[in-house]
Amino acid sequence: MSAAWPRSRGKRVLLVIAILVALLIAASVGSWLWFKLNPVEIVEPPPGVLALLTQPIPDGPIADLVRRGRYLTIAGDCMSCHTRAGGQPFAGGLGLQTPFGTIYSSNITGDGDYGIGGWTPAQFYRVLHDGRSKTLGRLYPAMPYPHFTVVSRADSDAMLAFLKSVPAEHYNPPANRLPFPLDIRLVMIGWNLLNFSPHGFKADPRQSAEWNRGAYLVRGPGHCGACHTQKTVLGAEKSDKALQGAVIENRFAPDLTGNPRTGLGRWSAADIFEYLRTGRNQHAGAVGQMAEVVTYSTSLLSDADLNAIVTYLKSLPASPDTASGAPSAAAMRAGHAIFFDACTACHLVEAKGQPRMFPPLGGSAVAQQRDPTGLIGLILGGGRTAPTLARPSFQTMPSFAWKLDDQQIADVASYVRNSWGNRASPVSAKQVATIRSKLDLRQPLGRGD
């Protein structure tokens, strides 16, 4: 427990209440802000990222430690958040949009002034384990320390050794753009009190070593729940809905449980392995944020670790079945016409698809998520399959924003969600309009002849 924490029980209750009220106000302000925020920047992966993550590390006194650290930072996909456009890998400065405002990732290269060059292993471990930074103080959970808290001290030391070995950049990321009172890091005391207690990884002795390794990777460095688990109003993960899927950044991170319709129930262990290794399998391709996770993280993990992740994921009990409602006959008619004319180019007639190229849509979990946000976003904006070293192709679903209006996208989405054995709630034009606006995508050309 932190030293700043009041010793008297009465004062503690008052403080918690005050923080809670402040947070609730901030949450609503933050949600409003979220709609108003402009893109921070357009980001392409910087030059040399893959090389930094994959080129052999030359022998030296601490080479093994650095190699192990690099592997763990890959498992944690640290690069993706801690790299901005045009910057050095790990030099930070990427604006992360959260419901509460924009948080900029920090510089974790070895720079002495702005990076972690002067940090001790203990200081670094405190970030991962407690969410407390030597320079910044209490971190916001945009840095997923509630996951990293299980990372062992040895692993933490290795990661620090690797980060100190990468090219340092003398760069100070911008200050966060958060509304009062969230801009005061002390409010995180309350958040942590409610949502977080530092802990290590506790192996489940009833499970295999492989399962436990998978659990460590998924819950710990992999921080899968950061996207795939629904959040409370305060931004903490709902532990009873772990990995059941969640809206994230105008997309939907799908259900990873054994649910056969929305989760991984229909995927074999080999399917999941192939997806994480190559970015694609016979059911789906990794697009959007997951594409980055695959390209820069999972595709570079060892076979043993991927198998461990697969074993753990396959053990997750199915989420409850939530499908409700059915689209109107008019929606299905229009949806069929659009699908037949505009979607069969890749997904082919009856959506049989071309496995590993263009997903078959009958039985598709992506199509049937309880929340259609991901499907709508995919049709509107398009989506690129993760390029990986094994499969460098980046087949891309093209954007339909210019071509289809909100009702047409709603109807084709409803059709896809309720054809070929699929079953999921219908999609409304209003839902499409909202996402079109959030993604800042253009309006369509207008009605055809």
Partner 1 sequence: MAQAMPKVDVVLVGFGWTGAILAQQLCDAGLSVLALERAAARSTPVNWATTFDQDELRYMWRHHLFQNVKYSTLTFRNNIHQSALPMRHLGSFLPGTGVGGAGIHWNGQIWRWLESDFKLKSHNEARYGKQATAGLTLQDMPVSYQELEPYYDMFDKTCGTSGQAGNLSGAKQTGGNPFEAPRSAPYPTPPLPMTYGPKLFEQAAASMGLHPFPHPAGNLSQEYTNPLGMQLGKCTFCGFCEKFGCGNYSKASPQTTLIPYILTKPNFELRTESEVLKVERTPDGRHATGVTYIDSAGIEHFQPADIVALTAYQLHNVHLMLVSGIGQPYDPATGQGHVGKNYCYQTMGSVDVFFDDKLLNPFIGAGALASVIDDYNGDNFDHSGLGFIGGAYIAGMVTGARPIEMVRVPDGVPKWGLEWKHAAKKYFLRAMGLSVHGSSYPQAGNYLDLDPTYKDQFGRPMLRMTFDFPPNDLKMSQYCTDRAAEIARNMGASSVHAKPRKGPYDITHYQTTHNVGGTMMGESPADSVVNKYSQSWNVANLFVTGAGLYPQNPGYNPTGTLAALAYLTADAIKTKYVKAAGQPLVAA
Partner 2 sequence: MLALSAAVSGAAAAEALSGHDGLLGGPSETLTNTLPWRDGLADAPEAASAGNWRYLNGAEVGFLTAAVDRLIPADPTGPSASEAGVVVFLDRQLAGDYGNGAHFYLQGPWQKGDTTQGYQSRFTPAQFYRHAISAIGQAVGKSDNGKVFKDLSADRQDALLKQMETGDLKLDGPITSKAFFTMFLQNVLEGYFSDPIYGGNKGGAAWAMIGFPGAHYDYSEWVTAYNQRIPVPMVGLRGRLAWSRS
- Which residues of the chain form contacts with partner 2 (CB under 8 A)? 38-50, 80-81, 83, 94-97, 249-251, 288-289, 291-293, 330-331, 333-334, 337-338, 341-342, 344-345, 348-349, 377, 380-384, 387, 394, 396, 398-399, 401-405, 407-408, 411, 438-442, 445-449
Binding mask 321-350 for partner 1 (x = CB under 8 A): ---------------------x-xxx-x--
Buried b or exposed e, range 326-349, using 16+ CB within 10 angstroms: ebeeebbebbeebbeebbeebbee
Residue from 29, 43, 50, 441 in contact with partner 1 (CB under 8 A)? 50
Contact call for residue 231 and partner 1 (CB under 8 A):
no
Q: What gap in Å lies between CA 15 and CA 2, rounded to an integer?
A: 14
Q: Does 47 bind partner 1 (CB under 8 A)?
A: yes
Please report where in the chains the tokens 């801690």 appear, as a residue.
Answer: 82
> How many angstroms from the chain centroid is the CA of residue 232?
16
Query: 153-165 and 121-130 helices cross at what angle (nearest 10)?
Result: 120
Rounded to 10 degrees, the C-alpha dihedral 329/330/335/338 comes to 140
CB of residue 391 to partner 1, shortest distance in Å: 5
How many degrees, rounded to 5, is the angle at CA 249 between CA 234 and CA 289? 125
Q: Looking at this protein, which amino acid is placed at residue 32?
A: W
Instruction: Please pick, from the candidates 384, 433, 438, 439, the single residue that binds partner 1 as defined by CB under 8 A.
Output: 384
- Min separation Cβ 434 and partner 1, Å: 22
Six token digits for residue 28: 């609503």
With CB cut-offs between 5 and 8 Å by kind, which of partner 1, partner 2, none does residue 64 bind? none
**CB of 107 vs partner 1, minimal distance in Å:** 22
Any residues with CB less than 8 A from the CB of 110 and at least 6 apart, and which? 116, 117, 163, 164, 165, 166, 168
Q: Are 322 and 422 in contact (CB under 8 A)?
A: no
Provide, rounded to whole angstroms, the least separation between the CB of residue 370 and partner 1: 28
Least distance from partner 1 to the Cβ atom of residue 394, Å: 6
358 binds, among partner 2, partner 1, none (CB under 5 to 8 A by kind): partner 1
- Nearest approach, Cβ of residue 387 and partner 1 (Å): 6
Shortest distance, position 418 Cβ to partner 2, whole Å: 16
Choice between 54 and 328, CB closer to partner 1: 54
* DSSP-based three-state secondary structure for 356: coil
429, interface contact from partner 2, partner 1, none, CB < 5-8 Å by kind: none
What is the spatial distance between Cα 22 and Cα 396, in angstroms, rounded to a whole number? 43
* Residues of the shown chain interacting with partner 1 in the complex, contacts defined by CB under 8 A: 47-48, 50-51, 55, 342, 344-346, 348, 354-358, 382, 384, 387, 389-400, 402-403
